[in-house]
């Protein structure tokens, strides 16, 4: 099999990147495009041997990188950001072809955010400090020490942006990294390895390995030389990773699924509320933060639904490379089957499809809104991860909060109201890592990000990222405790 494939004129190496070199595997796996289902290429399929090699490379590179002054680490991260910005078009076309998200979004938002991830954590590193404090005359000094090799396992819905959300702070902290991208969208991680090497990142500091979770993933998460594991993905996989990590007490950061609510009160700006609701179809519904449960005060439910349908039916579904497209395909035929299974079971149980409720051509699923759903039903309780929303009504504020909190998840929540006092009351009662009031998907890298309940463990962002990727140390020095031997 060839070592490189060409996507939209962009050459992508299909081998692993380990210790500053391209490494092939005896076996491969097929990577296909969700746009038309066609095979893009055969990708190196790693296993325990490649996992051991990558962790060894990260372990060997760690002492020198950890000892690299902060300013030099920051300079290299900025150089990586420069490299990303020079290749935004390449990265955009490859990722759109590989995972089906909109090309216009990759060009204008996602890939610039990739560069920003590196710049932000490079700059935050230079300002990272805790003010010394006194204990009975003793000086306390807090420092952030690099932890060691980190395994970062990333999802397929926003491959490079979510990978660099982890890679950037891990490298800034002085750690070395083994990145394992999702097998359904591995290609831009390979390009990142090229960009990092060109920026001067030393060999072994960033390693990229590809393959299946049950093969190379298990070998990575159970490895005794790994000091941190960060994972974004499903709850069942997270439980498996946690069990693997437990033998070595490897610290974990887990950003998992969501079943987030959008609460719409009668005093809300209805046009804004409808816009927020329709926005949940972004990326074909493949967004962990999406407010897939629309909760509307009963007095405005009929008007809200009418306006929602009017707006949703104007969305254009099609080839994500077309600038006019609003909704692209779902990532894989297996995911499409999963989405349709949820919808058909809900319809059989008595739900009504106000819009959608069926497949389109290929790997496209019609944007769907289901009503007449029970709070304890599967479609309300389980993450679908597709363009499928449910609508329920409420009468009182207490009922709205109970419905919003009535799942096992707690990743995010969105609230539409014209009453600031209500906003304050309700947000205080919502179980969620992030709450948006009259807005959606406004994220700042200095804010803590993560979920409650089954939506995750831990928080990352700003100093919280360094708290996770470092061993925090407090040094206590006695007053006048040094003897002058001069």
User: Tens digit of pLDDT per residue, the chain (486 long)?
Assistant: 689 999 999 999 999 999 999 999 999 999 999 999 999 999 999 999 999 999 999 999 999 999 999 999 999 999 999 999 999 999 999 999 999 999 999 999 999 999 999 999 999 999 999 999 999 999 999 999 999 999 999 999 999 999 999 999 999 999 999 999 999 999 999 999 999 999 999 999 999 999 999 999 999 999 999 999 999 999 999 999 999 999 999 999 999 999 999 999 999 999 999 999 999 999 999 999 999 999 999 999 999 999 999 999 999 999 999 999 999 999 999 999 999 999 999 999 999 999 999 999 999 999 999 999 999 999 999 999 999 999 999 999 999 999 999 999 999 999 999 999 999 999 999 999 999 999 999 999 999 999 999 999 999 999 999 999 999 999 999 998 676 655
Pair 312, 415 in one domain: yes
Pair 323, 462 in one domain: no
445 inside domain: no
CA–CA separation, 290 and 285 (whole Å): 7
443 inside domain: no
Please, what is the end-to-end C-alpha distance for the chain in angstroms?
70
Pair 208, 290 in one domain: no
CB of 375 closer than 8 Å to CB of 319: no
39 inside domain: yes
Residue 411's CATH number: 3.40.309.10
CB of 182 closer than 8 Å to CB of 155: yes
* Sequence-separated (6 or more) residues with CB below 8 Å from residue 367: 281, 285, 312, 315, 317, 327, 355, 356, 387
Pair 20, 137 in one domain: yes
Pair 413, 293 in one domain: yes
Pair 419, 286 in one domain: yes
Pair 216, 330 in one domain: no
153 inside domain: yes
Catalytic residues: 255, 288
Which residue segment(s) compose the domain that 164 sits in? 4-256+455-474
Pair 196, 301 in one domain: no
Q: HSE, CB side, 13 Å, CA atoms: give it for residue 48.
A: 2
- For the chain, the helix, strand and coil percentages under 3-state DSSP, each to the nearest 5: 40, 25, 35
320 inside domain: yes
SS3 318: coil
Pair 343, 226 in one domain: no
Helices in 349-485 by DSSP H: which ranges? Answer: 378-381, 397-404, 420-429, 462-469
486 inside domain: no
290 inside domain: yes
Report the domain count for the chain.
2
Pair 430, 329 in one domain: yes
99 inside domain: yes
């Amino acid at each position: 099999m060839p070592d490189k494939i060409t996507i939209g004129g962009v050459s992508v190496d299909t081998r692993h990147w380990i210790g500053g070199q391209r490494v092939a595997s005896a076996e491969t796996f097929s990577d296909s495009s969700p746009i038309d289902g066609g095979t893009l290429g055969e990708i190196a399929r790693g296993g325990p041997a490649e996992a051991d090699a990558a962790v060894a490379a990260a372990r060997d590179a760690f002492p020198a990188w950890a000892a690299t002054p902060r300013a030099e680490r920051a300079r290299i991260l900025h150089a990586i950001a420069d490299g990303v910005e020079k290749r935004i078009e390449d990265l955009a076309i490859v990722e759109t072809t590989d995972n089906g998200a909109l090309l216009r979004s990759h060009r204008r938002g996602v890939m610039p955010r990739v560069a920003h991830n590196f710049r932000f954590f490079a700059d935050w590193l230079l300002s990272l400090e805790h003010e010394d404090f006194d204990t009975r005359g003793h000086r306390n000094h807090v420092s952030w020490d690099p932890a060691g090799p980190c395994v970062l396992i990333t999802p397929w819905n926003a491959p490079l942006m979510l990978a660099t959300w982890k890679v950037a702070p891990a490298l800034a902290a002085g750690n070395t990294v083994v990145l394992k991208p999702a097998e359904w969208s591995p290609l831009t991680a390979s390009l990142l390895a090229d960009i990092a090497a060109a920026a001067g990142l030393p060999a072994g500091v960033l390693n990229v390995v590809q393959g299946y979770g049950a093969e190379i993933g298990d070998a990575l998460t159970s490895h005794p030389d790994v000091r941190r594991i960060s994972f974004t993905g499903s709850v069942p996989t997270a439980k498996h990773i946690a069990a693997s990590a437990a033998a070595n007490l490897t610290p974990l950061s887990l950003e998992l699924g969501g079943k987030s609510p959008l609460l719409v009160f009668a005093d809300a700006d209805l046009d804004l509320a409808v816009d927020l609701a329709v926005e949940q179809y972004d990326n074909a519904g493949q967004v962990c933060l999406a407010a897939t449960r629309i909760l509307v005060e009963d007095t405005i439910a009929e008007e809200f639904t009418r306006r929602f349908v009017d707006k949703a039916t104007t969305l254009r579904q099609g080839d994500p490379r077309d600038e006019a497209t609003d909704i692209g395909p779902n990532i894989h035929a297996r995911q499409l089957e999963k989405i349709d299974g949820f919808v058909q079971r809900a319809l059989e149980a008595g739900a009504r499809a106000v819009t959608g409720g069926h497949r389109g051509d290929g790997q496209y699923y019609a944007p769907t809104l289901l009503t007449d759903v029970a709070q304890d039903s599967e479609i309300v309780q389980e993450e679908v991860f597709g363009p499928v929303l449910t609508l329920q009504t409420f009468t009182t504020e207490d009922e709205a909060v109970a419905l919003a909190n009535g799942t096992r998840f707690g990743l995010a929540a969105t609230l539409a109201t014209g009453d600031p006092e209500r906003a304050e009351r309700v947000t205080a009662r919502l179980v969620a890592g992030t709450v948006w009031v009259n807005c959606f998907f406004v994220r700042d890298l200095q804010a803590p990000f993560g979920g409650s309940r089954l939506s995750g463990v831990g928080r990352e962002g700003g100093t919280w990222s360094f708290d996770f990727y470092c061993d925090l140390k407090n040094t206590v020095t006695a007053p006048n405790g040094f003897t002058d031997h001069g």
